[in-house]
Amino acid sequence: MQRVGMLRPNEILEDREGVLHIDGVSALELAERFDTPLYVMSERRIRNNYRRVYETFSKRYRKVKVYYSAKANTNLSILKILEEEGSCLDAVSPGEVFLALKAGFKPERILYTGTSVRDDELRFLSESGVTINVDSLSQLRRLLKISTPETISVRVNPEVGAGHHEHVVTAGRESKFGIWEEKVVEAYRTALEAGVKHFGIQMHIGSGILSVEPFTVATENLLKIANRVHEEVGIGFEFIDLGGGLGVPYKPEEEELNLDLLAEKVTALYREMVEQYGLGKPTLCVEPGRYIVCDAGVLLTRVNTVKVTPFKRFVGVDAGFNTLIRPAMYGSYHPVVVANRLNEPGEETYTIVGPICESGDILAKDRMLPRIQEGDLIAVLNAGAYGYSMSSQYNSRPRCAEVLVMDGEYALIRERETLHSLLEGQHYPPWLK
């Protein structure tokens, strides 16, 4: 693996005579062929990241399922890659279920976990045959009025939350997600009395976690709750789902999540407590999303303006927070390189900004980069997760295209929207001429 600028080694990124290549394809060629902004995804990296997670856990515990958290990136081609790998899928909306089915996932490989779910959505999910992981007693009772599924799971709030930003912490006292322990027993008893025959239990504590301890503490809490349900309701579990949240490093100083240590500690604790509580041999499930697609993605964006003020050097590019919202929404850091000047040293400190009419439209702040000129190509790295999936048409800007690369080949996997795309679905009322 070749180091590119300040980047960590990555099998898909390569410096060829100062030009960034992504899985064997020139970033300059892709930008010229498909225009910018442009999301570029590496099939090789997606497959290898998935295999790393599955193999790391499955060699320590025999019954393991990996559920790809689709909200990170729902492009049909990416879903199809993971379907071919044997992944299961974690969906959080009827739309994600719909896309997963279109990509070839069988309903039994899809787990739906939603919050504030409508009755018509519950009906669609029930008819689709996916496993539903209920988030509230209200949702459970409304579901049981529609149908009685063979299998139901309950999302538990294990009282432990973690994540890279307060907006992505999904457990603990401030979280809207999951059922607290004192109501969990009631949920399972209600489902059992309604005729549900098989059960799972699930948690999710947050996103972008780089340390092992939050996972082990939450796993212990979840298994204690599972044991209480087992003892008080008299049911067993087909699966116990530890959720996702496996983080990836964005900043140069951040250490990678020690996946081997995480799997070792979690599976050892899991085996010990499952055996201690007599819970049988339930399948252990994990739900990585970011970990699988984040560093498989690069956002290419063209420099259109270099503006120097008495206080700042601004680089204006054609991607804004309509294209990548994470820096504006979470204060997130993404590594950036000048894709056509990799072999040039950093000379100036620049702030990279987009075309959106907002002061918060900043992709990267105060970065030391080679001397930038209009027409240069900027590559925003680690952009495969929550990039396109959180993009929008804000400021009436059409969404960008997506390309898949693999071993020197490339293909368009999502067309660029046009100005006419902005008109789709809009109608004048009859009183307007």
φ, ψ of residue 64 in degrees (nearest 5):
-130, 140
Cβ-in-10-Å burial (0-12, 13-18, 19+) of 261 comes to exposed
- Residue 285 among the catalytic residues: no
Q: Which residue intervals of 194-311 are DSSP H helices?
A: 213-233, 259-276, 290-293
- The two structure tokens encoding residue 354: 């987009």
Q: What one-character DSSP code corresponds to residue 393?
A: -
C-alpha dihedral sign at 266, 268, 273, 274:
positive
d(CA 400, CA 39) in angstroms, rounded, equals 7
Residues 6+ positions from 120 with CB-CB distance below 8 Å: none
- Which is the catalytic residue, given 88, 285, 294, 357? 357
Name residue, tokens 């025959």: 197
SS3 sequence of 331-380: CCCCCEEECCCCCCCCCEEEEEECCCCCCCCEEEEEEEECCCCCCCEEEE
Q: Give which of 340, 295, 410 is closest to 12, Cα–Cα.
A: 295
Please, which residues bridge with residue 21 across strands? 14, 26
> 53, 67 in Cβ contact below 8 A?
no
φ, ψ of residue 66 in degrees (nearest 5):
-105, 120
Q: Active-site residue numbers?
A: 357
